[in-house]
Amino acid sequence: EVQLVESGGALVQPGGSLRLSCAASGFTFSNSAMIWVRQAPGKGLEWVSTIIGSGVGTYYTDSVRGRFTISRDNSKSTLYLQMNSLRAEDTADYYCAKGTTDLVIATTAFDNWGQGTLVTVAS
């Protein structure tokens, strides 16, 4: 059974940093692209970032590029999201998801999701 467990969410001040983790099990981690998606309070889903299976390719939505860094440790089956220069608009539940492919291609869907971790950016 695929399991994805996020951790690291917290209350942080504007301008601060946070690192989210997503521990994966139940599948060959290095064979899957991994994705971060967020949902702000009362809002819809927003794609944040993706990393391909090998880790050499990373992709970001414009609003986080240059502030967030996605990475993975395939030896530990763990996905990370380093979040710097946090803003109030980054407040959201952050979900990690498993891609159905190992690359970022048009046929990629998100077939397993974690329960999410809440990031609150406020003073």
Q: What residues line the site for other proteins (CB under 8 A)?
A: 37, 39, 44-47, 50, 59, 61-62, 95, 97, 100, 104, 106-116
In the complex with other proteins, the residue whose CB is nearer, 59 or 84, is: 59
- Least separation in angstroms between CB 102 and other proteins: 14
CB closer to other proteins, 56 vs 62: 62
Q: What DSSP letter does each residue of the chain carry, written as one string?
A: --EEEEE---EE-TT--EEEEEEEESS-GGGS-EEEEEE-TT--EEEEEEE-TTS--EEE-TTTBTTEEEEEETTTTEEEEEE-S--GGG-EEEEEEEESSSS--TT--EEEE---EEEEE--
Cβ closest to other proteins, residue 30 vs residue 100: 100
